[in-house]
Structure 1
Amino acid sequence: MYEPIRTKSVHSTMAGSSADFPHRTREEELDIQLAGHLAALLAVTDELRAPAPSADLDNAAARLAQQVSRLRGGRTPVRAVASDSPGAPVVALHERAHSLAGRALLVAASRADTAAAILAAQRMDAHAAALAEAGSELTATAG
């Protein structure tokens, strides 16, 4: 009726040894996700530091870099270089940073990484406050 399969399936792990391809544990996958979210948050923080330098952003960038390095086994994260060209508006950067910090908080909570969760929550609060301040400035100038 049908021709038997002559080659080993590339999709099946039940047919033989699973050492043919790499496997990661759930914790390793969460580490990779968390490091990615924190690295993206670090990049946005570096972007924010160019138009509006502050000690809070400098401290946050250092703490984010430390967490990313820890999650990546000691490798130093790539840092954004400040440019003279106008980038995204500051409000948009704060919105993006708030969103990234929220994603990092979810993964850190799922992973039970207290240090990263606290840092992500603090960054969410800081960016929410910056957005609220920008919103109040807009309403004050419009009125």
Structure 2
Amino acid sequence: MYEPIRTKSVHAMADDAQYPHRSREEELDIQLAGHLSALLAVTDELGLGKAAESIAAQIARLRGTPPVRQAGLSGADPVALHRRALALAGRALVVAASRADTAAAILSAERMDAHTAALAEASLVGAP
């Protein structure tokens, strides 16, 4: 009644050896380095040299190579940049905690504190 299937099914699973696989730890390393790279760009924009160097050192440790640094400035509002940096540091802290990376977690928490303080200072200065 039915003709037998003569070709290989399109639904068959491919050979696992054909595709590269990364461990959870490697994926978290990539994610953490990405968050720290974004934080580095904002930190460079704010002109926080010492903080930027410590972030760059963590990125280099995770990636094995020094990060590419941003050369141009966007001229964005410093308050907006501090808010963005605070959010990025928070994301980095979450990934560092799940990865159990103490050095990156401490750095992220320090950056969160610094940007929170800068935002509090900006709100006091801007208040009438």
TM-score of the two chains, using structure 1 as the length reference: 0.81
Residue ranges of structure 1 left out of the alignment (5+ in a row): 50-56
Query: 4+ residue stretches of structure 1 with deviation over 4 A?
Result: 8-11
More helix by share: 2
Partners of 2:49 and 2:75 in 1: CA distance: 19
Q: Deviations over 1:12-33 (max 9, x none)?
A: 35xxx31110100000000000
Cα displacement (A) at 1:87: 1.6
> What secondary structure, in the 3-state scheme, does the structure 1 residue paired with 2:16 have?
coil
Q: Which residue of 2 aligns with 1:135?
A: 123
Partners of 1:69 and 1:10 in 2: CA distance: 42
**Is 1:65 matched with 2:79?**
no
Paired residues in the alignment total 127
Counterparts in 2 of 1:108 and 1:8: CA distance versus 1, 3 Å: farther
Partners of 2:57 and 2:112 in 1: CA distance: 18
Code of the aligned partner of 1:7? K
Residue ranges of structure 2 left out of the alignment (5+ in a row): none
Q: Which residue of 1 aligns with 2:71?
A: 81
**Is 1:4 matched with 2:5?**
yes
1:97-112 equivalence runs, <5 A:
97-112=85-100
Code of the aligned partner of 1:92? A
Q: Which residue of 1 aligns with 2:36?
A: 38
Root mean square deviation, CA, Å: 1.9
Q: Which residue of 2 aligns with 1:122?
A: 110
Kindly indicate whether the alpha-carbon contact (under 8 Å) linking 1:108 and 1:117 is maintained by their aligned counterparts in 2.
yes
Q: Deviations over 1:52-87 (max 9, x none)?
A: xxxxx21111110000011002x110101144xx52
Kindly indicate whether the alpha-carbon contact (under 8 Å) linking 1:46 and 1:82 is maintained by their aligned counterparts in 2.
no
TM-score of the two chains, using structure 2 as the length reference: 0.90
Counterparts in 2 of 1:2 and 1:119: CA distance versus 1, 3 Å: farther
Counterparts in 2 of 1:92 and 1:9: CA distance versus 1, 3 Å: same
Q: Which residue of 2 aligns with 1:52?
A: none
Partners of 2:50 and 2:12 in 1: CA distance: 47
* Identical-pair percentage: 61
> What secondary structure, in the 3-state scheme, does the structure 1 residue paired with 2:56 have?
helix
